[in-house]
A and B are shown apart, each in its own frame.
Chain A
Amino acid sequence: MIGYYKHAPFSLFLRILVSLAIAITVCTLGFLILYILVKGIPFLKPSLFSLTYTSENVSFLPSILNTVIIVFGSLLVAGPLGICAAIYTVEYARRGNKIVGLVRITTETLSGIPSIIYGLFGMLFFVTFLHLGYSLVSGILTISIMILPLVMRTTEEALRSVPDSYREGSYGLGAGKLRTVLSVILPSAVPGILAGVILAVGRVVGETAALVYTAGTVADFPKGIFSSGRTLSVHMYELSREGFHTGEAYATSVILILVILLINWISNKFAKKIGKT
Chain B
Amino acid sequence: MKLSLSNPFKERAASTIFLVSALASILFVALICVFLFANGVPAILKIGFTDFLFGTEWAPTDEPAIYGIFPMILGSLYVTLGALAIGVSVGLLSAIFLARFCSERLHRVLKPAVELLAGIPSVIYGFFGLVIIVPFVRQHLGGSGFSIFTASILLGIMILPTVISVSEAGLRAVPNSYYEGSLALGATHERSVFFTVLPAATSEIVAGIILGFGRAIGETMAVILVAGNQARMPDGIFEGVRTLTANIVLEMGYATDLHREALIATGVVLFSFILTINLLFSILKKRVVK
A and B assemble together: yes
Interface residues of A (CB under 8 A from B): 4, 8, 10-12, 14-15, 17-22, 24-26, 28-29, 32, 35-36, 39, 80-82, 84-85, 87-89, 91-93, 99-100, 102-103, 105-110, 112-121, 123-125, 129, 145, 148-149, 152, 174-179, 181, 199, 202, 205-209, 212-213, 233, 236-237, 240-241, 246, 249, 253, 256-257, 260-261, 263-264, 268
Is the beta-carbon distance between A260 and B119 smaller than 8 angstroms? yes
Smallest distance from the beta carbon of A269 to chain B beta carbons, Å?
11
Is the beta-carbon distance between A121 and B31 smaller than 8 angstroms? yes
Is the beta-carbon distance between B164 and A148 smaller than 8 angstroms? no
Residue of B nearest to A14 (CB): B190
**26 A-B pairs, CB-CB below 8 angstroms?**
A8-B190, A18-B96, A19-B97, A25-B91, A28-B157, A35-B132, A36-B127, A88-B22, A92-B18, A99-B23, A102-B26, A109-B275, A109-B278, A110-B28, A113-B218, A114-B270, A117-B267, A119-B249, A121-B32, A121-B35, A178-B15, A237-B123, A237-B221, A241-B224, A257-B120, A264-B112
Is the beta-carbon distance between A108 and B124 smaller than 8 angstroms? no
Is the beta-carbon distance between B94 and A18 smaller than 8 angstroms? yes
Please indicate the chain A residues that have their CB under 8 angstroms from the CB of B102 in the complex: 22
- Encoded as 1 (CB less than 8 Å from any A CB) or 0, chain B from 104 to 123 comes to 00000010111111011111
- Encoded as 1 (CB less than 8 Å from any A CB) or 0, chain B from 174 to 188 comes to 000000000000001
Q: Determine which residue in B10, B25, B218, B271 has the highest number of CB atoms from chain A within 10 A of its CB, and name it.
A: B25
Smallest distance from the beta carbon of B213 to chain A beta carbons, Å?
11
Given contacts A87-B18, A92-B15, A206-B123, contact A24 B25 (CB under 8 A): no
Is the beta-carbon distance between A116 and B36 smaller than 8 angstroms? no
Which secondary structure dominates where chain B touches chain A? helix
Which secondary structure dominates where chain A touches chain B? helix
Is the beta-carbon distance between B90 and A21 smaller than 8 angstroms? yes
Within the complex, which residue of B19, B123, B188 is in contact with A236, where a contact is CB–CB below 8 Å?
Answer: B123
Give the CA-CA distance A157 to B119 in the complex, in Å: 20
Is the beta-carbon distance between A112 and B35 smaller than 8 angstroms? no
